[in-house]
DNA sequence: AGCAGTAACTTTTTTTTTCAAAGCGACTTG
DNA sequence: CAAGTCGCTTTGAAAAAAAAAGTTACTGCT
């Protein structure tokens, strides 16, 4: 992981979630704050969960995620790519085609996402 | 759960995350969207993770979460309370004292939060 | 050839969300 | 009395997300 250049670290974000949480032994410690640096931004959890179903192009992902603005999807994909959670592959074509997939780091998140889904199934009323 | 009046359901949200996700058997299904209805809003994951360490008052929670605006914390606590993820208890005092704790629904989320923390520890660079 | 459609974004404007600061009433302490 | 804390509420500014239109590069159809 330390070999991945983290350009996100050079972008000073207001109220960075990585500065939050009392140091403790409980679930809310620095690690959880780091997880929510991504997951606490609208759409990231859903995007990663959708990509867990398999590789997608931009438009397919937009349709499968459902309800996200193009510009927000583009920005999220860039951030997730820069953080090495997803892999962006370009087929030069023609026609040019771009596909997105979970990286190993992103894939490692899937069991936790599954746990979240299981929790919601058991604990949240259907909308 | 079904005995809890869900006022959140009467508030039509634009781009509701519960309308997202292709139906599928993968992690991104309706259940995950429902989980991110809460967790995809900034601060909710951290708030729930902080409360997993034990009951807190408002000011203590604000300090322990770190970096959240009063007004946002107040609103988040109201939403989480309305969704029955937390319990709000009032000690009439004097002085009056309000405390917040995870409900059984909120508590059931803790293992998934722990999984997220473990993933971050193994997969995300320290900031 | 022109047209319409799709993909993968980008740009602009509008709307919503979050932030920062101040405020309020109810207390406690020195 | 003043100053501090608590648990919020209010206001206006800043940031993020949404909505809509746009661009380039194709493909397929008439």
Q: What is the pLDDT of residue A1?
A: 29
- The domains of chain A are located at 28-123
Q: Which of B20, B109, B111 sits opposite A46 (nearest CB)?
A: B20
Statement: residue A66 has pLDDT above 90: yes
Report CA A124 to chain centroid distance, whole Å: 22
Cα–Cα–Cα angle for B60, A124, B72, rounded to 5 degrees: 35
A119 touching B, CB under 8 A? yes
Statement: residue A3 has pLDDT above 80: no
**Distant-in-sequence, close-in-space partners of B32: CB < 8 Å, separation ≥ 6:** A45, A46, A49, A113, A116, A117, A120, B21
B73 touching A, CB under 8 A? no
Q: What is the pLDDT of residue B84?
A: 97
Taking CA–CA distances from A44, the nearest residue in chain B reads B40
Q: Which A residues 33-62 touch B at CB under 8 Å?
A: 33-37, 39-46, 48-54
Q: CATH number of the domain at B27-122, please?
A: 1.10.10.10
Mean pLDDT of chain B: 84
Q: How far apart are CA B45 and CA B60, in angstroms?
A: 17
Statement: residue A9 has pLDDT above 60: no
Which fold does the domain A28-123 belong to in CATH?
A: Arc Repressor Mutant, subunit A (1.10.10)
- For residue B71, what is the enclosing H or E element? helix B70-82
Contacting residues of A for B43, CB less than 8 Å apart: 17, 40
pLDDT > 70 fraction of chain B, expressed in percent and rounded = 77
Statement: residue A8 has pLDDT above 50: no
CB within 8 Å: A27 and B65: no
Give the pLDDT mean for B76-81: 97
CB within 8 Å: B27 and A46: no
Which range has the top average pLDDT, A100-104, B17-21, B90-94? A100-104
Statement: residue B9 has pLDDT above 70: no
B26 touching A, CB under 8 A? yes
- Candidates B104, B117, B118, B126, partner chain A, best to mutate (most A CBs within 10 A): B117
Residue A101 banded pLDDT, cuts 50, 70, 90: very high
């Amino acid at each position: 992981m330390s070999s991945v250049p983290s350009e996100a670290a050079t972008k000073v974000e207001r109220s960075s979630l990585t500065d939050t949480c009392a140091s403790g032994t409980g679930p809310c410690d620095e690690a959880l704050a780091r997880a929510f640096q991504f997951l606490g931004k609208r759409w990231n959890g859903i995007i990663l969960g959708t990509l867990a179903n398999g590789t997608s192009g931009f438009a397919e992902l937009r349709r499968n995620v459902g309800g996200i603005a193009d510009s927000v999807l583009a920005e999220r994909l860039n951030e997730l790519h820069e953080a090495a959670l997803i892999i962006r592959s370009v087929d030069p074509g023609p026609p040019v085609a771009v596909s997105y997939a979970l990286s190993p780091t992103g894939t490692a998140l899937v069991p936790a996402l599954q746990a979240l889904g299981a929790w919601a199934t058991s604990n949240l009323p259907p909308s």
